[in-house]
Amino acid sequence: MNQGWIDELKQVIGENKVETKDSYVKRMSQDFYWYSPILKKQLSDFYADCIVKPSSVEEVIEVLAFSAQNRIPLVPRGGGTGNYGQIIPMEKGIILDTSALNKIIEIKNGIGRFGAGIKLGKLEADLANDGYSLRFFPSTYLKSTLGGFIAGGTGGIGSIEYGTLWDEGNVVRLTILTLEEKPRLFTIEGEELKKYIHHYGLSGVIIEAEIALAPYREWEDHLVTFSNINDALSFSESIAKSESIRKRLVSVSESPLATAFKPFEAFVSEHDSIVLLQVEKGDCDQVEELAHSFNGSFLPTFSEHVKKNKVRTTDFSWNHVTLWWMKHHPEATYLQGRFDTKNYLKQVELLKEKYPNEVLIHFEWISVGGSIVPSSQPIISYTTEERLNEIITYFKEIGVKVSNPHTYLIEEGGKDDWVELISLAKKENDPYQLLNPGKMKIGIG
């Protein structure tokens, strides 16, 4: 530990804002990178020197100025729920805990302005009191922050209606601080947003975010089981594309994935492929009818069961499917891919033929640029890195667009359309390359 500069930092921002306790620093330096056996090997030994938790924008400015003056690396942190080691401090230094920047600043005309460190779960609950809801949120919403989601996530529950972070109108404005001796504070909108969405905190610290909100609706959770994955997928497509059923979650898990969803064990057998849904209250009869037309079993008591037991289908969707499965199968890992909308049944058939015991299908239907498409986080039985790479290659060969979750480099993660823009912003905002060092390989000089 570098006691010299840490003592100085304590003088600048206050002793109680800087934490160096070993166990705490280690916990705050980690995210969910261990979903990947590759990242687990690469990233397990990196820790920060200290965690700094400013409680105002002025204090963040002081920390960033200190970091620039003393050339100390710094990683902004939200809830620490990222999957690619995004918050892991590869060159030690400071972890900037943003969680105290958690204010609801303004809600007006369907747009909300919030402190970047606000937890999405708390925000969703507070918005309901004003008749609003988040347009979409990750399944980690109870822990993850607005700034962390914008800087590290993509989409989630609600993306079937509203698309992802990049879709125009979802993120409206961001207020950014630079890492310089005299940090600059500025607000951006429009095309400039691309420099800061999914940017891993590389090109600036998000201080506030303005996002478009959805009207509050009452949702109901439903479960439909199927004896084969094809019927489950066809039903899921039909409901995803239905214009008369409003929904914010259509999640498909192939058998036997749902056996890992312990709170649902009374409802599923190991032979069931399942579709989990959140649909607007009142649309239940339509769901039941559609389920029957695809040979599905609609479980009428499920909705009451989840309410009574205070669980939600959303806790068994998106990357929570991987989490539940890994609890019982620690050797497993996952991939991320976008299947072809017209050809996905054939792609699934090819995968099942080639890897009958190594690939389990998990789809999340979302909207991209106005089209409903099958995004996917299939579960993979991991044996070796070579085998995993072979499987990734085959996914690509059959036309699945893979976003590789087994790399900590922003360029290699598959959401790289705007990496050049992020790099450009980094050059302007982080002249000493102190923000999250190690996560970007392209030169910025």
Ligand X SMILES: Cc1cc2nc3c(=O)[nH]c(=O)nc-3n(C[C@H](O)[C@H](O)[C@H](O)COP(=O)(O)OP(=O)(O)OC[C@H]3O[C@@H](n4cnc5c(N)ncnc54)[C@H](O)[C@@H]3O)c2cc1C
**Residues near ligand X, by CB under 6 A:** 31-32, 75-83, 86-87, 98, 116, 138-140, 144-145, 147-149, 151-156, 200-201, 205-206, 318-320, 323, 436
Residue 219 C-beta: closest distance to ligand X, Å: 16
Q: State the minimum distance, in angstroms, from the CB of residue 152 to ligand X.
A: 3
Which residue has tokens 């993850």?
Answer: 144
Q: In what order do the strands lie in the sheet with 247-253?
A: 297-298, 219-226, 273-280, 247-253, 362-368, 371-376, 337-338, 401-402
Tally of CB atoms within 10 A around 210: 18
Q: Which is nearer to ligand X, 291 or 361 (CB)?
A: 361
Task: Give least dist CB 215 to ligand X, A.
Answer: 21
Nearer to ligand X, 233 or 366 (CB): 366
Beta carbon of residue 339, minimum distance to ligand X (angstroms, whole number): 17
Query: Which is closer to ligand X, CB of 79 or CB of 378?
Result: 79
| C-alpha span between 161 and 157 (Å, rounded) | 9
Q: In the complex with ligand X, which residue's Cβ is closer, 211 or 290?
A: 211
Side chain identity at 247, as an amino acid letter?
Answer: K
Compare residues 231 and 247 and give the one whose CB is closer to ligand X.
Answer: 247
Identify the burial level of 126 via C-beta atoms within 10 angstroms of its C-beta, where 0-12 means exposed, 13-18 middle and 19 or more buried.
Answer: middle
Nearer to ligand X, 155 or 296 (CB): 155
CB of 22 to ligand X, least distance (A): 20
Residue 434: CB minimum distance to ligand X, A: 12
Q: Please, which residue, 179 or 245, has the CB nearer to ligand X?
A: 179
Question: Closer to ligand X at the Cβ: 292 or 441?
Answer: 441
| Opening angle at CA 322, ends 358 and 123, nearest 5 | 160
Smallest gap from residue 237 Cβ to ligand X (A): 20
Judged by beta carbon, residue 185 or residue 323, the one nearer ligand X is 323
Nearest CB to ligand X, comparing residues 234 and 403? 403
The closest alpha carbon to 2, from 14, 13, 23, 18, belongs to: 18
CB 379 → ligand X: shortest distance, Å? 13
Cβ distance to ligand X smaller for residue 164 or 255: 164
Q: How far is the CB of 144 from ligand X (least distance, A)?
A: 3
Q: Tell me how far, at minimum, the Cβ of 48 lies from ligand X, in Å.
A: 12
Query: Which residue of this chain has its Cβ atom nearest to ligand X in the complex?
Result: 148
Tell me how far, at minimum, the Cβ of 430 lies from ligand X, in Å.
11
